[in-house]
Amino acid sequence: MAERWATFGIDLHLEPTGPGLRRGLTDALREAVRTGRLTPGTRLPSSRSLAADLGIARNTVADAYADLIAEGWLTARQGSGTRVADRAVPTPPTRRPSPRRAPGRLPYDLVPGTPDLSSFPRAEWLKATRRALAAAPHDALGYGDPRGRPELRTALADYLARVRGVRTDPERIVVCSGFAHGLHLLCEVLRARGARTLAVESYGLDAHWDLAARAGLTTVPLPFDSLGTRAQDPGAADAVLLSPAHQFPLGGALRPERRAAVVDWARRTGGLILEDDYDGEFRYDRQAVGALQNLDPDHVVYLGTASKSLAPGLRLGWMVLPPSLLPDVVAHGGGRSVSVLEQLTLAEFLTSGAYDRHVRAARLRYRRRRDSLVESLATRVPDVRITGIAAGLHAVLRLPPGTERSVVQAATWQNLAVHGLSRFRHPATGTAAGDALVVGYATPPDHAWASTLDALCRALP
């Protein structure tokens, strides 16, 4: 017998098995509690309604409940019914990771990649959701345009032109579920068109190199020198992936002559530039560096994401494509990957000005964080040089040669998660950029910032 039971808002698949209904039901319930499918404190249906749902005698259910109460799995109290006992469950602790911290995560966190999630603009986002849903026509809830909702593509086209200098119209935009998804689609398309190699920066994210490799592309690191990535020379690569506004993780902006030179390379060879503009809105001490795509929208794909400006969990990203690539990207499953409701909400967030307000406030907060990091290091560990801080949400702390591993280990002893620079080095990169920490200073919530900074200073040499 397999039944779904939906009383009291509980929806649980129960499969009483074995000889005898009472025994079968007892075993199925015990298993549901033991494995954590029924969590401590959950109120069970009355024996009458469960019996009705399962089509069995009420006494059978009452007997099964009594057995489990006697065994300590359930409790019964006058007036509050039968519940899963508070500490009934010898559930293995790893089955259900704490919602606050993934298993193994340390309490202090300076791993780059995540903005301060506690400052996500929940109230404004909710308001935008409500307004967007109220205004949406019925057909917005259908499958719609594979590139994404026109409201969002229009809002993005305006925003990207105004803030990042991107040259586009809504027709060239495809909404995707974050940068990584966009990159995946582009690699698939490139490979299907016969491409074999993707030139990448010598330091970057292995997750992105892995995506390319899974699509059948070999990643080849570009050389770098004291001025940054030698992007002007992707050689025989079919395409090049760059973070020109703020190199991840080293932190510099691609120099103007190298920007021009890599665009020349693309025009000359028919190569494609994939521009990763992951944190383009966060500029502090210098004039914003506009999108490289502005130089040649027919040879540069611009990729943006809400992962730094809002939250990575939204899985919202966008691509601005050369017209020649658009049909293939759509054919490879671009678009329709993000819930219409999230798309409409982001469109409303952008057009109402809430996005600009949020980014401005976040920029101010992160700038203060960065300044406090710089000041603390200058007074407490003056030998550590800090670079790559004009923009973005992370800084690079230069360490004495040969100390990176021991500093990362010392940070662990201080309950601090932080990554060394070497972790971001492409395996085929010849020369290393030296020992350093890559510090994601946006990650901790405000209340934890001071203690996280203390932990960092204690770990540094």
Q: Count Cβ atoms within 10 A of the Cβ of residue 281 and give its class: 0-12 exposed, 13-18 middle, 19 or more buried.
A: buried
Contact 419, 206 (CB under 8 A): no
β partners of residue 395 = 439
**Contact region for ligand PLP (CB under 6 A) — 57-65, 84-92, 137-145, 176-184?**
176-184
The residue from 305, 309, 429, 452 that contacts ligand PLP (CB under 6 A) is: 305
Which of 115, 178, 252, 297 lies at the binding interface for ligand PLP (CB under 6 A)?
178
- Distance, CA of 197 to CA of 269 (rounded, Å): 14
Work out whether 88 is an interface residue with ligand PLP (CB under 6 A): no
Among 65, 73, 209, 248, binds ligand PLP (CB under 6 A): 248
Token reading at 251: 């932190």
Q: Report the site for ligand PLP in 313-332 (rule: CB under 6 A).
A: 317
Told to check if 366 binds ligand PLP by CB under 6 A, we report no
Which of these segments, 14-22, 102-110, 175-183, 395-403, binds ligand PLP (CB under 6 A)? 175-183
User: Which of 73, 203, 278, 366 touches ligand PLP (CB under 6 A)?
Assistant: 278
The region of 87-95, 178-186, 410-418, 431-439 touching ligand PLP under the rule CB under 6 A is 178-186
Nearer to ligand PLP, 36 or 333 (CB): 333
Q: Phi-psi region for residue 279, left (φ > 0), alpha (ψ -120 to 50) or beta?
A: alpha
Give yes or no for residue 251 binding ligand PLP (CB under 6 A).
no
With a CB cutoff of 8 Å and minimum separation 6, the contacts of 9 are none
Q: Which alpha helices (H) appear in 197-335, and where do they start and end?
A: 206-214, 256-269, 326-331
- Closest approach of Cβ 314 to ligand PLP, in Å? 9
Contacts with ligand PLP: how many residues (CB under 6 A)?
13
Q: Is 420 helix (H, G, I), strand (E, B) or coil?
A: strand
Give the span between the Cα atoms of 324 and 299, in whole angstroms. Answer: 10
Q: Tell me how far apart the alpha carbons of residues 208 and 278 are, in angstroms, rounded to a whole number.
A: 13
Q: Please state, as a whole number, how many other Cβ atoms lie within 10 Å of the Cβ of residue 46.
A: 17
Crossing angle for the helix pair 21-34 and 58-71, to the nearest 10 degrees: 50
Beta bridge partner(s), residue 385: 398
Q: Is the peptide bond before 99 cis (omega within 30 degrees of 0)?
A: no
Angstrom distance (rounded) from CA 47 to CA 53? 10
The number of residues making up the chain comes to 461
Q: Does 67 bind ligand PLP (CB under 6 A)?
A: no
Q: What is the nearest approach in angstroms of ligand PLP to the Cβ of residue 312?
A: 4
Q: Is 307 in the site for ligand PLP (CB under 6 A)?
A: yes
219 touches ligand PLP by CB under 6 A: no
User: Which residue in 113, 170, 392, 420 binds ligand PLP (CB under 6 A)?
Assistant: 113
Chain centre distance of CA 358: 18
- Is 205 a binder of ligand PLP (CB under 6 A)? yes
Candidates 16-24, 31-39, 152-160, 174-182: pick the segment binding ligand PLP (CB under 6 A).
174-182
Instruction: Mark residues 130-169: x for contact with ligand PLP by CB under 6 A, - for none.
Output: ----------------------------------------
Interface residues toward ligand PLP, by CB under 6 A: 113, 178-180, 205, 243, 248, 276, 278, 305, 307, 312, 317
